[in-house]
Amino acid sequence: MTIQQISSFAAGDWVAPGEGSREIASAVTGEVIAAAGNNALDVQGMLDHARNVGGPALRKMTFHERAKMLKTLSLHLGKHKQALYDLSFNTGATQSDHMIDIDGGIGTMFVFASKGRREMPDGHVYLDGEVEQLSRNGTFLGQHICTPLQGVAIHINAFNFPVWGMLEKLAPTLLAGVPAIVKPATNSCYVTELCVRIMLESGILPAGALQLVSGGLGDMLDRLTMQDVVSFTGSADTALRLRSNPAILENSVRFVAEQDSLNASILGPDAEPGTPEFDLFIKEVQREMTTKAGQKCTAIRRIIAPEPQVQAVIEALSARLAKTVIGDPRLETTRMGALVSNAQKRDVLEKAAIIGQEAERVFGNPSDFTVDGADADKGAFLPPMLFHCANPDAAQRVHDTEAFGPVSTIMGYSDIDHAIKLANKGQGSLVASVITHDPNVARQVVLGAGAYHGRLYFNDRASMKESTGHGSPLPHLVHGGPGRAGGGEEMGGVRGVKHYMQRTAIQGSPDILSAIGNKWVPGATEIEGPSHPFTRRYHDLSIGETIHTGSRTVTMEDIEHFAHFTGDTFYAHMDQAAAERNPFFPGRVAHGYLLLSFAAGLFVEPNEGPVLANTGLDGLRFMKPVEAGDAIKVRLTVKNKTKRNEDYGEVRWHVTLTNQHDEQVAEYELLTMVAY
Ligand code: NAP
């Protein structure tokens, strides 16, 4: 068998393994299939290339351009999935494991692409939150902004998800405008290398945006500066070692850590045998124990069930686990493949022995189990193993020993406070799940356990058909957790992108803030356009372009007509005495919606033109009541513009309604689609 040489990609060149390379064995056969690593890798050259070539090229692009790049990249990867599947079987992963790693990774990149387009500007500065009013007259304001770090992101990944692990970090990094050097775990780096090759050969990425280290990093971490970020996924021991690096400490280099954690799943007190929740619980636990042969950072390590149900859970779970076909991951009938290596298998057995000091093994015998289509002695196969801990309060090792394989421990609880206490004994986890149909139980768990877990997953008969699974981190939601889980956070939509940007508080006048954010701020200069803005196309409108309308007097007939026409005869509009008793109104007042309609009547240009549709209002506030006899007028300003597709873009208008005393009566943002 030829041994595949797994290269690194450094400063634009592929570098084959050299001195110091390590052999990599197939998880299924134990045979050496690849080699990776090269002590002579020019790590300083890689850092320079990222900082001087990749970073500037990415920062030149807008958030939308980078989001589009991610979309093209994920579509391209989607066309090459089969090659990744074929290779990844060697890691012990089954086809359904590939769906999580390979399809899940591509899907994650896709979500970031779409969030980048919808939630970030088509510009270079991300506005974080709203304008802060810092002065009485509004001439001095504050605004938080984010801009990309000017260094490089070093991504160090665990072996279990060679594709997802890379893409879930790479997508937010590139979207932020920061180049990455990816270092996968050596055991499964051949899959990551293929994925990187596919991305690089597509030509979609600018030079220097992505480099790869297959094998060790050398002294790269010693060379990091305050503009760099390390995003690490792996064990707590390695994280501690790496985050203690003197250069990282001295330069306050951001270090995002995703570590192992002793995730728990709680069976609610209401979820007795015979309920849909009990069956759901058994299904979820079995799935989490066997997916990726239990090598998942989010896998359920501790099963927490009401004491009277413990035996029933052991029986139902054992019956389900007994049906798990273990074997060559390429076989369609296989439900659980191999662990990544024989070293990993030995490690799991050692950790299981430690757990065995405090708990009794009630299912799964590592010396007696069947493996389909592969040699159990050569490949890294193990059966699922279930332990029962009879005294979880006195126990410690079951709460702090992560056997990174198909191993889980069940323990009983007396009441929900006790269940919370046991879940929190893990000292911080990525996710805890609660299978309950009782909202009070869910609330109690949130109050008692929220601070200890990065994600709380509730599931019951109402959500089970569409739920995404205890163990699946989603790009929309934060992945990470406190304490033992590393104290880091990844993904969570735009939150994840911000890990690669600097947040800066900007202070200045409305004109300064408008120019920085490319978004008009009240108080900034108003621009007079050559004609009504509704007659001009998207690209012809300038930020700050403003019209002031004439005024319209609101009459009592208008109010009554509107009330009867719409059916909104609320007393504040119809009954003088009742309105006067209301603390908000001087007497009968105009409907807020009447004012909005009159405002539209004042500012629209009625003829067919480039404004295609009104798609909504944001931030509507009614600030002062309008009575019959008051006269309202409108100021309409182009606030900002966002391209939507090939034909049109969104124009957001700042709208202010004032009365005859120039007092503001209403304010909102109007959204329209305008043709290019
Ligand atoms: P690991 O041994 O800690 O290795 C993690 C990564 O660190 C690998 O890429 C490894 O590279 C690298 N590394 C080790 N020493 C290094 C050094 N001195 N300098 C630079 N890099 C170094 O973890 P693993 O065995 O791959 O993964 C299993 C662990 O990861 C489990 O504990 C699991 O819970 C955790 N995990 C957590 C998450 C999460 O999101 N929280 C996800 C998946 C896995 P080499 O392979 O080349 O040594």
Burial class for 661, CB neighbours closer than 10 Å (0-12, 13-18, 19+) = exposed
Q: Find residue 481's DSSP bridge partners.
A: 488
Same domain? For 446 and 555 the reply is no
Structure tokens at 132: 């802060």
Same domain? For 456 and 563 the reply is no
The percentage of the chain sitting over the pLDDT mark of 90, rounded to a whole number, equals: 98
Please indicate, yes or no, if residue 508 is contained in any of the structural domains: no
Burial class for 377, CB neighbours closer than 10 Å (0-12, 13-18, 19+) = exposed
Supply the pLDDT for residue 645.
86
Query: Which helix (H) or strand (E) is 130 found in, with range?
Result: strand 126-133
CATH code where residue 565 lies: 3.10.129.10
- State which ligand 1 atom lies nearest to the alpha carbon of 37: 47
CATH code where residue 68 lies: 3.40.605.10
**Alpha helix (H) residue ranges in 254-309:** 276-290
Please indicate, yes or no, if residue 166 is contained in any of the structural domains: yes
Same domain? For 396 and 437 the reply is yes
Per-residue pLDDT band at 260 (split at 50, 70, 90): confident
Catalytic site residue from 168, 193, 258, 358 = 258
Alpha-carbon distance 104 to 101, whole Å? 5
CA of 233 to the centre of ligand 1 (A): 6
Query: 572-581, pLDDT tens digit by residue?
Result: 999 999 999 9
Taking every pair of C-alpha atoms in the chain, what is the biggest distance, in angstroms? Answer: 94
Supply the pLDDT for residue 416.
97
CATH code where residue 453 lies: 3.40.309.10
Alpha-carbon distance 479 to 454, whole Å? 7
Structure tokens at 141: 């304001």
262 CB less than 6 Å from ligand 1?
no
Please indicate, yes or no, if residue 232 is contained in any of the structural domains: yes
User: In this structure, what is the dihedral angle of CA atoms 118, 121, 127, 131, given to the nearest 10 degrees?
Assistant: -90
Same domain? For 293 and 163 the reply is no
233 CB less than 6 Å from ligand 1?
yes
Please indicate, yes or no, if residue 483 is contained in any of the structural domains: no
Please indicate, yes or no, if residue 489 is contained in any of the structural domains: no
pLDDT above 70 (res 386): yes
Same domain? For 298 and 254 the reply is no
Let me know if 258 is a catalytic residue.
Answer: yes
Please indicate, yes or no, if residue 595 is contained in any of the structural domains: yes
Identify the residue whose C-alpha is closest to ligand 1 atom 14. Answer: 238
Alpha-carbon distance 454 to 427, whole Å? 12
Same domain? For 160 and 25 the reply is yes
Supply the pLDDT for residue 42.
96
DSSP annotation string for 184-206: --GGGHHHHHHHHHHHHHTT-SP
Contacts of 637 (CB under 8 A, 6+ apart): 520, 526, 544, 545, 546, 653, 654, 655
The mean of the pLDDT values for the chain is: 96
Same domain? For 198 and 278 the reply is no
Per-residue pLDDT band at 2 (split at 50, 70, 90): confident
Supply the pLDDT for residue 208.
98
Per-residue pLDDT band at 467 (split at 50, 70, 90): very high
160 CB less than 6 Å from ligand 1?
yes
Identify the residue whose C-alpha is closest to ligand 1 atom 35. Answer: 234
Same domain? For 119 and 231 the reply is yes
Catalytic site residue from 146, 195, 297, 389 = 297
Q: How many domains does the chain have?
A: 3
Supply the pLDDT for residue 1.
67
Token pair 């058994």 is found at 282
Please indicate, yes or no, if residue 516 is contained in any of the structural domains: no
Token pair 């070692």 is found at 241
Query: 560-619, pLDDT tens digit by residue?
Result: 999 999 999 999 999 999 999 999 999 999 999 999 999 999 999 999 999 999 999 999
258 CB less than 6 Å from ligand 1?
yes
429 CB less than 6 Å from ligand 1?
no
Same domain? For 395 and 542 the reply is no
Identify the residue whose C-alpha is closest to ligand 1 atom 39. Answer: 258
Q: Find residue 488's DSSP bridge partners.
A: 481
Query: 407-462, pLDDT tens digit by residue?
Result: 999 999 999 999 999 999 999 999 999 999 999 999 999 999 999 999 999 999 99
Please indicate, yes or no, if residue 490 is contained in any of the structural domains: no
CA of 185 to the centre of ligand 1 (A): 6
Token pair 């134990």 is found at 30
One-letter amino acid identity for 467?
S
Residue after which a domain boundary falls, among 485, 501, 517: 501
Range(s) of the domain holding residue 597: 526-675
- State which ligand 1 atom lies nearest to the alpha carbon of 260: 34
* Predicted model pTM: 0.93
Query: 103-144, pLDDT tens digit by residue?
Result: 999 999 999 999 999 999 999 999 999 999 999 999 999 999
- State which ligand 1 atom lies nearest to the alpha carbon of 261: 34
pLDDT above 80 (res 634): yes
- State which ligand 1 atom lies nearest to the alpha carbon of 344: 25
Same domain? For 89 and 131 the reply is yes
245 CB less than 6 Å from ligand 1?
no
Residue after which a domain boundary falls, among 501, 518, 549: 501
Same domain? For 249 and 136 the reply is yes
CA of 348 to the centre of ligand 1 (A): 15
* Cβ atoms of residues 504 and 149 within 8 Å: no
Contacts of 360 (CB under 8 A, 6+ apart): 387, 388, 389, 390
CB atoms within 10 A of CB 389: 23
